[in-house]
Amino acid sequence: MNLSRSSKTSNIPLLLAVLLVMFLVTSSAAYDRYSQNDDATNCRTCHGDYRSSSYTSLTDGQNWGNLHNLHRQTMVSGDCNVCHGSDDFPVLVASSNGGSGMEALSCMGCHGRAEDNVPGNPSFPDGYGAGLRQHHYVAGVTLCVGCHLDADPANYTTVGEDVLPPYFANPGTNHPNIPDESCNQNGGEDFAGAPEGLDNDGDDLYDGADNDCIETAVPGAAPVALLVTNFPNPFNPQTTIRFALDTAGPVRLAVYSVDGLLVRVLHAGSLEAGSHDQRWDGTDSRGRPVNSGLYLCRVETGAASLSRLMMLVR
């Protein structure tokens, strides 16, 4: 393809921006914030000023208005601590003060999944956001591979579209507009007039078009948990959680603090009918030891859930 001199010249700013992004990726650990100095770096290189009065979606071409206000006022009902730390800037993509009753995950609360932050992920313990990185990779933006091997689908398979992001699973208190269904069957992810929700698992398939969602929508597919127990209890530093299912199907086993915050997802996926054992070593989703105290293990099947209190004594 031949380009005129004027066409080549007009592409220089874009080329410089891409080179700058590549430099930042290769010279730093990762994109830990939306932009470096409130300038056109990191995520802002492509997605623009987060506080701009007019944002045009790169997915559907629609004008979403002010992204900051859409998130702050509409999605989290004015709870700034969901995304912000002690200062308004920088906005870290995986760390915040934590909203009311929510984990301090910032962007990763809705755009990442705890189930991807596991030792089987080559980017562990930085596996939050694997689906988001693969979404960009499939779209042709492959820069993230420089720091995160899980950005390439060939290196890691993310959990399915049907697995809830942390804030979907636990929206905390007074956040009625946070989505609670990642397959988007109730339209909860359709903000700002968007015709589809998030590509949570990065395979470029959205909502009901994703086989993960089609499979989980089959009536009567969810098993029922018949019991849940753990031994030893109290324990230090690990315990075995035992539960039984009446039929095969999708199951989520997770540990929560007594105030409802997700500590760690131990299993998410299909299991056969019968008894199952799962060990918990007293660490959170990032592999850090948690404090002594009471914790709740919960088996969720879609049809119902069962919980049990566990006591960790260090």
pLDDT in tens, 252-283: 888 988 777 888 888 877 888 888 999 999 99
Q: Rounded to whole angstroms, what are the CA distances from 131 to 194, 200, 211?
A: 20, 6, 16
Whether the pLDDT of residue 307 is over 50: the answer is: yes
Range of the domain at 276: 225-312
**Is 167 in a helix, a strand, or coil?**
helix
Each residue of 154-211: pLDDT tens digit? 999 999 898 889 999 888 899 988 988 888 877 888 887 777 889 999 988 888 778 8
Q: Which tokens sit at 160?
A: 């399915």
- Final residue before a domain boundary, out of 197, 217, 237: 217
Q: Are residues 165 and 210 in the same domain?
A: yes
Residue 240 to residue 261: CA distance in whole angstroms: 21
**Is 150 in a helix, a strand, or coil?**
helix
Total-model pTM: 0.64
Specify the number of domains making up the chain.
2
Q: Are 274 and 244 in contact (CB under 8 A)?
A: yes
Q: Are residues 254 and 154 in the same domain?
A: no
Q: Are 212 and 158 in contact (CB under 8 A)?
A: no
Each residue of 94-134: pLDDT tens digit? 999 999 999 899 999 999 998 898 888 999 988 999 999 99
Handedness of CA 131, 135, 138, 141 (dihedral sign): negative
